[in-house]
Structure 1
Amino acid sequence: MDALRIHVCGATDDNTVTAEFMTLLQQVAEASPSDLPTALFVVPNTYSDFDEYWNWTRICDDLLVQMGYEGLLQLATFHPRYEFEGEDESDMSHFTNRSPFPMLHIIREQDIEDALKQVRNPDRIPERNRQHMRRIGHNGLLAVMPALADTAVFAGRTNHTEASDN
Structure 2
Amino acid sequence: MPQYIVAQYGDRRRYLVKALREIGHRITRLASRMDDHDLGLVAPGEDWSVTELIGYLRDSEREDLATLEAVLRVDGSRIGERQAMAQVEDGAFRHADPADLLWDFATLRDETVWLLESAGTAWNHVGIHPFRGEVPVMQWVQEMNERDLDAMWRIQRAHDALRRPGREQVTGLAEP
TM class, shorter-length: under 0.3
Kindly indicate which of the two structures has a greater share of residues assigned to strand: 1
Q: TM-score, normalised by structure 2?
A: 0.26
Q: TM-score, normalised by structure 1?
A: 0.27
